[in-house]
Structures are given as structure tokens and as C-alpha cells.
A and B are shown apart, each in its own frame.
Chain A
């Protein structure tokens, strides 16, 4: 009980500290110098991270049934039966998310002090970044949909601000706008979903909604709510068909890509679906949709990543693909596995992005892997850590990604069928191929560049090392039962997802196929890596990529154009929309609406010009008005009687 209240008393500090940092950097950042900005920026997040780890530790000591702590910070506008309380909720799900977000954010903040040290808008950068962490922590710690939505929109805003951080560049400004508009499109449906929840339950409090969901909701209503919420998740987590903003978002500074567009914000959609899992369970249609969208995204983006040459875009498509894996996990009834994958992916992908950042930094903003090569000798620390990230990403046994991917693959095999499983297996080999394509092309082979290498400074390599450690060790919190492990993370999260945990293997006999599945997935990953090795490392394979490209030219075209999504959208939505907008602007807005509005406005302004004319400054005139007033009032009294 003592621990309980101790935790409850300091949860609010986890998001509040980054907010304080943001406020400081916003108000004073430009005056105090970069050093203090960096210290405050990292320090506030660092404290928040230490605090959440400390709370995590205390939290683990609590008995399972007490692991749900709710804090009502205050009621914003209590008014009769309507109220908007600011509630925070700490349960196993939000606990792991908060710990991951604050921890990874801290590392990336530290890295940023090195990466951005020459930028003149250093203080603005840390203001946005701190603000982002605040909103992200608010999002994962929310205890009702209102708070969650505040965080949800807040991270969207910060994402926009940071993508367009170098706003002098037109492409950056455009990418920011695209990200904002596309995700807002999803948010709109999410908001409708929240309205629908309020209409059905009369509350937006998580506890009451999820508890009463099975009784209150019919299957149809549950389907509607779940699909609307999922639409929000699709936008935020860049799933097909709203995934097109994420590759463009790579215009942001690389640490931002690591933090927002790989480790944290884009996973908010996964978190949201996991949080609302009780509602999704009520609707088979919704769960199937989640699974199908996840599968399609995982496969499509992995194929696109095969042929790109921009290091950040490859990683971006890889992120989209891995998010697809997580949604697939949610779709096949393994939310625990999805969250597990979310965590390991966050470590590995943050590591890969930061490593890519170090490479880009070293070669002075070079992003094309065709113009890299032989970097192993020049930046060895980056090479080793990047390779660890790549191994974890590909799902090589022993590294974090292997365990979490295996958990999803296993659930897919059991609940999704063999065909789906085979597709994911194929995707796994693609993953191995494209990640190691980067490794081989960037770090090995001949030197295809000609600049002075800028070595990463200490504050950049230390976070890389820390993340590399996490990319290995992170997997051991979820060693499956089949390998004699405890699946700690699955067990820890299980109470959140009610009784539902089908990924749990039956005791005894079921272990043999699971091990077989693991072997298969490892083979697939090694197959992908082997192909990449053959293509890019051996002399005889050198011509193979070109030959392959010619042989399957149409497919290559399809992939290098990212399945034509952007072009189709341009033709189907953007251009007609712009045309329609042009029409409405010229024909409807400027002639009809503007004139109507101007008419109304002018009538008020006309009134505005008359009233002061009454104000001529003569006292007798004012007195006359008072007399008029009293005359009318007396008339009123006489009428009344």
C-alpha cells in the first residue's frame, strides 16, 4: 500500500519533467547558450527516465492484482454531469511503454547534442524534442481517451514541427505538411470513434469503458468503434494505405527519425489498438482487418525497401514493415507479442537510425548507400553497433528481434494459417536482405566517396553502445517457454489483455512445432543475409543484381515506385482535390461565400461606424440617452401591470 501511494504520487512527474525542460528551452533557450540547453534538454528526460525505471522496479514488487494504479490529477471543467478529468493510468502496458519511451528518448537526446551541435536552431530543436517526449508520455500514461487524444495530437504537432525543422528547405516543409495532413485524416476517424464511445458508454474513462464493453456493445457497434479507432492507428503508425507520409518524413534531422518515426510516435497506433484490445476482441471483422492491413503493410513495405538506395528511406520502409508485423500480431490475437516486438524494434530501429545518422554525419549529409562503402575502417564503433542493430532487426537467434518476431510468427502460424505464415517468412528473408544490403554497401567494398570523414564524437557513440546492448539484451525479457524461458514480458502484460493470451503454448507437446518454426524463421533470415552477401560481397555475385533487375523489370519498376501509391494518390486525390479546391475557391468561395461573409462583416463594421458617431462627447446628449432608457423601462413596467 505504501508503495502504491508512493507511485501514485509521482507518476505525474514522468511527463511533467520533459514539459519543464521544454518550457525552459522555449523561454530561455536562446539566451543561455547551447551547453545549458543540452544539459536541461537531456537532464529533464534523463530524470524522467530514471524515475520511470525506479517506478518500474517498485511496480514489479507489487502483487499482480494491484498493478493498476490510477491517478486523477484534477478535473479540468467540472460542470454538472459533464467533466473532463485529467487521469493518468499506470498498468503493465503503460509502464513498459513509459519506461521505453523515456529511456530511448534520453539516449536519443544525448546523441542529438552531438549531432545537432553545429545547428543554429539548437534551442528550438530541444524545445520541440522535449515537448514531443512530454506529449508521448502523456499519451502512454493516459487514463482516459481525452488525455490520450491530447497526447496523440500533441505528438502529431511535434512530428510536424520536427519534420519541417529545416523549414528553409521546400521539401522539408512539404513533407511536414504531408505528414500532418495524412495523419490528421486518420485522427478524424479516431475522434469519431471517441465520440461513439462517449455516446455508448457516457464516459471516456478507460477502466469503465473496457470493463463494460462486453455488455454494452453489440458486435456491430464494437466493429464500428474498433474500425474508427484503427483508422486513427493506421494514420499515426503509417500502415497501408496511409503509410506514404513516413518515407517523406525522413526530411527530419536523423535523431528525430530515430525517436519519432521509428521508436515512439509511430508505435502509438500499435499501443492504441493494444489498449483498446477488449473492444477489438468483440468484433472478428475488426481483428481480421487489423491482421490483413498489418500483413499487407509488412509485405509491401519490405519489398519496397529491397530496391531503395537512400539509407534513411530504406530504414523508413523497414519501420513501416515492422509496424505491420506488430499489427499482424494484434490481428492474430497476440497483443503481448505485438508489444514485445514494439519494444525490441524500438531499440533496434533507434540504433539503426542513429547509426545511419553517424554515417550521414561522417560523409557530410550523404544518404545514398551507392556512394558509401568501406566505412568499417573509418568509423568502427558505428560499424559494430550498426551491425548488431541489423542482426537484431533481421531476427538472428540470440538477438532481441528474433524472440519477438518469433512470438508473432508463432501466433500467426496457430491463428492465421500456413499461407499467412509463409508470407511473413518471406518478409523475414526480405528484412535480412535489405538490412544487410546497407551493412555491406556502406561499410564494406570499395570506397566510393571523397570527403574528409567526420568521426562521431563521444556523446554520439555512447548512446549507440547503450542501444546495442538493449538490442541484444532486450530479447531476454521474452524468451519463450519452448526454449525453456519464462516469457516474462508476456506474463507481465497478460492481465491487461484480459484472459486472452492464445500465444501461450499449451504445456508439453506443443513445443516441438514452435522450435521448428523458429528454425524456419532463422533460416529465412539467414537466407536473406546470404543473398545480400552474394550480391554485394562476392565477385561472382556482382552482376547478379543487374541481371535480376533486367529479368524482372516490371516488378523492379513497381517496387522502385513504391507500388505507385504516391502517384495514384496524386492522380486520384491530390490533383482532383486541388482542381476542385481551385473551382470552389474561384467560383464558390470568392464570389458567393466571400461576398456573403463580407456582407455580414460590413454590416457589423457599419454598425461599428455608427455607434461611435452617437458618442459626440456632449454630456446632455448622454443624459438624453439615459432618459430614453428609463422611459422605455417605465413603459415596460406599465405594460407589465
Chain B
């Protein structure tokens, strides 16, 4: 029996290989030298190298026919985004893990592994690779969430995330097998050609498969009603990881959903518009309404993150070229906002206990003006106030919805933005109110402060001068098959 080894194009996967080897190197260094700083440096170097390699890949389109991976502007765009998110997460963690007793040796390599999972996920052209990438991402995340071994909330969060994640993965795998059964292949390209000729949105089995897969993927993006784990896990995880989880992991799965709906499932998708409409409305509304009365800032932002997933789902409903651009823009903007928000909270950590209660933020601006200003900019952006990146993102999302005829959805989105103002501005007002209790000092984490300041500036710059980013996104979307 001949075993045909697939031809491996090393150049296409070089960045992924770099990330893998640096992650392994980091683990080895940790095992032999126990030097957190060195692990940090090695991991950061790996990310930056991969970033440079990807930058050189920009514009060199080409789906690797028959291969598992696609390397085109769409995947390169997201890969760069994930690497940037990982870099930001690392910088924001630097100070935090010293303070809060995180098991630091494996922490940075695990971030790299999770990033690798995201990178492979968005490049997948095959359901099996897709599943493996999701598992790589998830397993790394389970450990990262539980990396504060001294704190029971962190352990509880990791446990819950693992149990629920396993449950969701089972649905995903079942869905994949049904799709395989219906089409006889796991390759995106072959699935598409198998479904292409069928009228009426494809066979019954494929729809059951899609429904099952949607449970698994919907779980990862914390879409209502598969969101229940999110507040508990976001709350319990170390704060930089909460940021990483709510931006990187979510965006990776969203990027995959968009590609799936664009590519193999474009035919059955037409039957699913109504379902996505409902998911979008549920996620937006439930997320925002639940955030209204939260007294814990991390939980509030967790619900806000559910609402933002709902906003991105608007683009999934509209699903044309313009909506794709809006989705990519919103994800980028959301990544910056999420990292900034959780980054600011992480910077306010003090010893073992962190400041999560909303009361702790009263009068914060008087002691920590920089954190307060950046967090305020970020909150305004999350609410979608003009001259911030959040406004640009929402503007494109809602106008894409209107242009595709989903006016009701856009109206619900706008109303939701109005509701969200209540809790975003509430937190902002608190920070600038007169302090009731003296806020205790927590040192001056220079790197972290610099990182959030940069992120805050980025929010403003993208709000005032978004055109370069829009240009890049246009090219990234152009790489996908015509809609």
C-alpha cells in the first residue's frame, strides 16, 4: 500500500512553525532555567518574528489547492491581528503575574499555543484541521484561565470552562460528522462543490450538521443562549487572560464562521438568516440588559462582550461585501477596545485582591489619571461615541445592515447602544466623582501603562483617521471568493 505524503509548502506555514518552536523553546527554558524574564523574552521574540513573516506575506494570495491551509490576505490579516493581540496580552500581563501569583513559567508559552490555535483556525480549509485548532486553542485557554492556582475562583472558572467546552466540542464534532456524512468530505472546497448543485439549500442532514456545529462555535463566541459560561469564566480568569479570551478567541471563531458561511456553506446559509437574526438580537439585548445592574466591573464587561458579539452577528446576517468589511473592522476595533478595558483593570490590580467592584472605581481619576483617561476613552468607544474607533465600527455595521435591507436589526442595534451608555457612562462618572475612600497605590507598571496608553491613542486615531485600516480591510475581504 502506497502512502502518499502530502506536499508540504513550508513557506506557507513558516510563521506557524516559528510560533510553535518558540513556544516549545519557552517551555524548555522554563524547565531548565526557571527564568520568567527569559521565557517572556523568547515568547515575545517568537510572536514578533511571526508577525514580520506575515507582513511579508501580505498581498501574496493563493489558496493552497488540496492543502489544509489557506494563505491569503484574509487569513494574513487575522493572523497579524492575533499576533498583535497576543503581544498586547503579554505586555499587559508582565506586571500582573508578578503581583497575583500566576504560575508564570508556562503562562507565556501557553499564550503562544493559544495564538497558534487561532492562527490555524482562521487558515483552516478543512473541518478536521478546524476542529484540531479549536481544541488547541481551547485547551491552552482552559489552563490559562486556571493559572492562578492559589485563587479558587480561577480554578472554578477553569473547571467550568473545561466542562462546558467539552460539552460544546462534542456538539461540534457531531456536526462535523453529519456534514461529512452528507457531503462525503471534510475539505471546504469539496463540501462546497458537493453542495453547489443542490437546490433548496441542500439536504436535510447538512442543516442538522450546521445546527450542531453552530452550538459548538456559538459557545466559543458566547452567543446567546450558549453564553452562560462567559460571565463566570471571564470573572474568574486572570484579567489579562480575560482580555485575551474575549478578543482573540472570539474573533478567531468569528473569522472562521464568516469563512464557513462564505465558502462551503454559502448555499445552505440562505435558510439560516432568520436564525442569525434572532441570535444577534438575543445576544445584543441580553448582554446589554444584564450588564446594566452589574456591580462587578469584570462581569459587566463580560456581558458587554456578549453584546458586542451580537453586534458582529449583525454583519453575519447582512452578509455581503460591505457587511464583511464592517465585520472585520468591528472585530479589529473590538479587539483594541477589549484589550484596553481589561488591560486597564489588570493595571489596577493590587496584590492578591483585585479591584472588581464598581465602588472601587470611585474617584479613581484623582490617583490614576492615565488609567482613568484611557478607560474613559475606551468606554466611550465601546458605547459608540463619535471620534472614537467604536463609532466608526458601529457606523459601518449599522449602515451595512440598512443597505442590505435589515433596517429593523439596525434599529435594534442602535437602541442597544443607547442602553449600553447607561452602564459605560456610569462607570466613567464614578471614576471622576470625588473619592470616598483613598485608593491605595499599586506601583507604576511602566510597560503596562505604556501599552494601555498606546491602545487608547489607537482608539482615538482610528476614530479620526480610519481610512488606512479600511483600505487594508478592503484588500483582506477581496481575498475571499466573490459573494
> A residues engaging B (CB < 8 A)?
74-80, 601, 604-605, 607-609, 611-612, 614-615, 617, 619, 621-623, 625-626, 628-630, 633-634, 636-637, 640-641
Residues of B within 8 A of A626 (CB): 164, 167-168, 171, 215, 219, 225-226, 228
A76 with B211: CB separation less than 8 A: no
| B168 cross-chain contacts in A, Cβ below 8 A | 626
Q: Are A633 and B466 in contact (CB under 8 A)?
A: no
Of all chain B residues, the one with the shortest Cβ separation from A634 is: B211
Distance between B328 CB and nearest chain A CB, rounded to angstroms: 15
B364 to chain A, nearest CB (A): 19
Residues of B within 8 A of A80 (CB): 322, 399, 403
Main secondary structure of the interface of B (DSSP, over half): helix
Of B214, B228, B286, B291, most A-chain CB atoms within 10 Å: B228
Q: Identify the 8 closest CB pairs spanning chains A and B, nearest first.
A: A608-B292, A622-B228, A611-B290, A608-B293, A629-B225, A607-B289, A633-B211, A637-B207
Complex Cα distance A74/B211, Å?
A: 44
Find A637's partner among B211, B292, B396 (CB 8 Å cutoff).
B211
Measured CA separation A605–B167 after assembly (Å): 32
Q: How far is the CB of A406 from chain B (nearest CB, A)?
A: 46
* CB neighbours of A641 from chain B (8 A): 204, 207
Contact residues of B with A, CB < 8 Å?
Answer: 160, 163-164, 167-168, 171, 201, 204, 207-208, 211-212, 214-215, 218-219, 225-226, 228-229, 231-232, 271, 274-275, 286, 289-294, 322, 392, 395-396, 399, 403, 419, 422, 464-467, 470
Partner of B466 from the list A76, A614, A619, A634 (CB cut-off 8 Å) is: A76
Which residue on B lies nearest to A85, using beta carbons? Answer: B467
Output the least CB separation between A275 and chain B (Å). 25
Given contact pairs A633-B214, A636-B275, a sample of 4 additional A-B residue pairs in the complex whose CB atoms are under 8 Å apart: A607-B292, A612-B231, A622-B228, A626-B219
In the bound complex, what is the Cα–Cα distance between A611 and B419 (angstroms)?
15
Between-chain CB contacts (< 8 Å), 6 pairs: A607-B289, A607-B292, A626-B226, A626-B228, A637-B207, A637-B208
Bound-complex Cα distance A418 to B395 (A): 57
Query: Cβ of B228: which chain A residues have Cβ within 8 Å of it?
Result: 614-615, 621-622, 625-626
Kindly provide the distance from the CB of A605 to the nearest chain B CB, expressed in whole angstroms.
Answer: 6
Nearest B residue to A82, CB-CB: B399
Q: In this complex, what residue of B is CB-closest to A622? A: B228
Residue of A nearest to B168 (CB): A626
Pairwise interchain contact A619-B289, C-beta atoms closer than 8 A? no
Bound-complex Cα distance A609 to B291 (A): 9
B467 touches A612 (CB 8 A): no
In the bound complex, residues from chain A placing their C-beta under 8 Å from that of B226 are 625-626, 629
Given contacts A609-B293, A636-B275, A641-B207, are A623 and B167 in contact (CB under 8 A)?
Answer: yes
Contact B466 A77 (CB under 8 A): yes
Q: Which of B219, B232, B292, B395 contacts A77 (CB 8 A)?
A: B395
How far in angstroms is the closest Cβ of chain A from B152? 13
B289: contacting residue among A74, A79, A604, A630, CB under 8 A: A604
Q: How far is the CA of A637 from the CA of B212 in the complex (A)?
A: 11
Q: How far is the CB of B195 from chain A (nearest CB, A)?
A: 16
Expressed in whole angstroms, the minimum distance between the Cβ of A641 and any Cβ of chain B is 5
Q: In the bound complex, how far is the Cα of B160 from the Cα of A611, in angstroms? A: 19
Chain B neighbourhood of A637, CB < 8 A: 204, 207-208, 211
* A79 lies within 8 A of B396 (CB): yes
Chain A residues with Cβ below 8 Å from B218 are 629
* Cα–Cα, bound, A384→B274 (Å): 81
A residues in contact with B231, CB < 8 Å: 612, 615
With both beta carbons as reference points, the residue of chain A lying nearest to B392 in the complex is identified as A77
Task: Give the contacting residue for A629; candidates B201, B215, B292; CB below 8 A.
Answer: B215
Q: Provide the residues of chain B in CB contact with A78, threshold 8 Å.
A: 467, 470
Measured CB to CB, the closest approach of chain B to A628, in angstroms, equals: 7
Given contacts A604-B292, A612-B294, A629-B226, contact A623 B204 (CB under 8 A): no
Contacts of B204 in A (CB 8 A): 637, 641
Q: Is the CB of A608 within 8 A of B291?
A: yes
Given known pairs A607-B289, A636-B275, the reply for A630 and B215 (CB within 8 Å) is yes
- Nearest to B373 among chain A residues (CB) is A27
Contacts of B395 in A (CB 8 A): 77, 79
Check if B470 sits within 8 Å of A625, measured CB to CB.
Answer: no
A622 with B466: CB separation less than 8 A: no
Contacts of A617 in B (CB 8 A): 232
Bound CA span A74–B469, Å = 13
Contacts of B466 in A (CB 8 A): 76-77
Contact residues in B for A76 (Cβ distance below 8 Å) = 464-467
- Measured between beta carbons, the chain B residues less than 8 angstroms from A611 are 286, 289-290
Within 8 Å CB of B292, what residues of A? 604-605, 607-608
**Interchain nearest-CB distance for A617 vs B (Å):** 6
Asked if B470 and A605 sit within 8 Å, CB to CB, the answer is no
How near does chain B come to A640, taking the closest CB pair, in angstroms?
A: 6
- Contacting residue for A640 out of B207, B219, B290, B396, CB 8 A: B207
How far is B168's CA from A617's CA once the two chains are assembled, in angstroms?
17
Distance from A584 Cβ to chain B, minimum over Cβ atoms (Å): 23
B399 near A75 (CB under 8 angstroms)? no
CB-based contact A630/B229 at 8 Å? no
Question: Which residues of A lie under 8 Å from residue B322 when comparing CB positions?
Answer: 80
List of B residues within 8 angstroms of A640 by Cβ: 201, 207, 271
Note all chain B residues with C-beta closer than 8 A to A629.
215, 218, 225-226
Contacts of A74 in B (CB 8 A): 465, 467
Q: In angstroms, how far is the closest chain B Cβ from the Cβ of A630?
A: 5
Output the least CB separation between A457 and chain B (Å).
Answer: 35
Contact between B290 and A79, CB atoms less than 8 A apart: no
User: Could you tell me the distance in whole angstroms from the C-beta of B297 to the nearest C-beta in chain A?
Assistant: 14
CA distance A162 to B207 in the complex (A): 65
Give chain B residues whose Cβ lies under 8 Å from the Cβ of A636: 211, 274-275
Whether B294 pairs with A630 at a CB distance below 8 angstroms is no
On whether the beta carbons of A623 and B215 are closer than 8 Å, the reply is no
Given contacts A611-B286, A633-B211, contact A604 B419 (CB under 8 A): yes
Whole-angstrom CA separation of A617 from B153 in the bound complex: 11
Nearest chain A CB to B189 CB, angstrom units: 25
* Least Cβ–Cβ distance between B447 and chain A, in angstroms: 21
Provide the bound-state CA to CA distance between A477 and B467, in Å. Answer: 43
Given A611-B286, A626-B226, A630-B211, verify A619-B293 contact (CB < 8 Å).
no
Within the complex, the shortest CB–CB distance from A619 to chain B, in Å, comes to: 5
Q: A79-B396, A622-B229, A628-B225 are in contact. Are A633 and B470 (CB under 8 A)?
A: no
* Minimum distance in angstroms from A438 CB to a CB of chain B: 45
Q: State the Cβ distance, B470 to closest chain A Cβ, in Å.
A: 7
B204 nearest in chain A by CB position: A641
**Neighbouring A residues of B229 by C-beta, 8 Å:** 622
B469 to chain A, nearest CB (A): 12
Contact indicator B219/A634 (Cβ below 8 Å): no
Residue of chain B at shortest CB distance from A628: B225
Bound: A641/B207 CA distance, A: 9
Chain B hits for A615, CB < 8 A: 228, 231-232
Partner of A630, one of B163, B171, B293: B171
Complex Cα spacing A612 to B464, Å: 37
Residues of B within 8 Å of A633, CB to CB, are: 211, 214-215, 275
Chain B residues with CB under 8 A of A77:
392, 395-396, 466
Complex formed: what's the CA distance from A492 to B167 in Å?
A: 78
Distance, CA A623 to CA B164, complexed state (A)? 7
- A636–B467 CA distance with the chains assembled, in angstroms: 41
Q: Are B290 and A608 in contact (CB under 8 A)?
A: yes
A77 to B395, CA, bound (A): 9
Which residues of the partner chain A approach B392 to less than 8 Å between Cβ atoms?
77
- Give Cα A80 to B321, complex, Å: 12
- Shortest Cβ distance from A629 into B: residue: B225
Which B residues lie within 8 Å of A623 (CB)?
A: 164, 167
Note all chain A residues with C-beta closer than 8 A to B219: 626
Bound Cα distance from A77 to B94, whole angstroms: 37
Contacting residues, chain A, for B419 (C-beta < 8 A): 604
Residues of B within 8 A of A622 (CB): 160, 164, 228-229
Decide: A619 and B214 in contact? CB cutoff 8 A: no
Docked Cα-Cα span, A630 to B232, in Å, equals 22
> Is there an interface contact between A612 and B293, defined as CB atoms closer than 8 Å?
yes
